Structure 1
């Protein structure tokens, strides 16, 4: 485990929040949001280990801009192993994991879930997208998922987000979505909606 890529913030519970940053981010980027949404839970930030055009990422692109599926799969396996190791190190509950992911990091969590490797009970995914069409048929009806989308998002197309919703519903995820007329940046309005949704899950 590369501790240089991991941050840990203790909490008063043993139900961890895994923070997965967007492109160019690091392990601490989402901590301010996590502190608002999950004030009592321990937070674990894991930085993507790849660099692409000077930006940190969780998985690579091909030169034409398409997603490198081999990299996606390899880095997903690495991320899942890292999460399991950190949870064991800090003696946290691996059956009560929450994910807070943005963009590239949200894509990783969603890809893991749609390929039958759901490692979380709850996920807040800010501006996620489908990055593969190679999914498992596994049903995970105990997964609570909130996802946001902006109508003017230059990265996530309406078609991609609609497919995302369809794939989540096929697996009986407890899915809630938040749509705005904004772009790809995180807004206060979506964080407020996510907080209200989390409260409704209690």
Structure 2
């Protein structure tokens, strides 16, 4: 589906009261890649899955990089605000609850989800970040208030693409700004193993229960 600035897929919720999952794919994937993950994490949730606009040798990405592991931070910032605008327009156009949007991102998608938390702190209720790095490389993020946000992170200690120290730095940055962060490390690489998926599903179930009680 085109419109609202991004090619995207939208699946409405099967029932009222659940989250809207903003699915953000990794490098080389597209808007269909994480639909199965979204259904596994929150059966019946609304799924909003856009496609990154940047092409790197034909591979879809969310922002440019200068080389492997080195981000174009100015582009990270610009693309993050562009994505946030799409989310706001999509939520309004479809009558979704803006307080229920939870990002789910893998790798490059997790990086722009993290950037969204740091640059647009009022947009997301929370985020599940798999194989994420601190996105604003070399820059100290502003001291925004993330006290209303909950974040799950899955990170591999043997990840050759996103070193574990990057995940730990991001967890620290988010925690210092008030976010409730759960970092689940695993001994693998750039992947989403079953134990991490189970942990993320448990976290998301708890987030939904906390939202309803609040």
Band of TM-score, shorter chain: over 0.9
Change (3 A) 1:188 1:64: closer
Count matched residues: 202
**Structure 1 residue 162: Cα displacement:** 2.0
* Contact persistence 2:104–2:113 (CA under 8 A): no
Q: Please give the TM-score of this superposition, normalised by the length of structure 2.
A: 0.88
Q: Please give the TM-score of this superposition, normalised by the length of structure 1.
A: 0.93
2-structure distance, mates of 1:168, 1:192: 22
**1:31 to 2:54 alignment:** no
Query: Structure 1: where are the runs of 5+ without partners?
Result: none
Where in structure 2 are the equivalents of 1:58-97 lying within 5 Å? 58-62=62-66, 66-97=70-101
Aligned mate of 2:16, from 13, 16, 23: 13
Residues 75-111 of structure 1, C-alpha deviation per residue, up to 9 Å, x if partnerless? 1111011111111121101111111111111111111
2-structure distance, mates of 1:104, 1:52: 12
**Root-mean-square deviation over aligned CA pairs:** 1.8
Tell me the equivalent position of 1:111. Answer: 115
Tell me the equivalent position of 2:57. Answer: 53
* Contact persistence 2:131–2:190 (CA under 8 A): yes
**1:154 to 2:160 alignment:** yes
2-structure distance, mates of 1:166, 1:143: 14
Query: Structure 2: where are the runs of 5+ without partners?
Result: 210-214
Change (3 A) 1:28 1:123: same
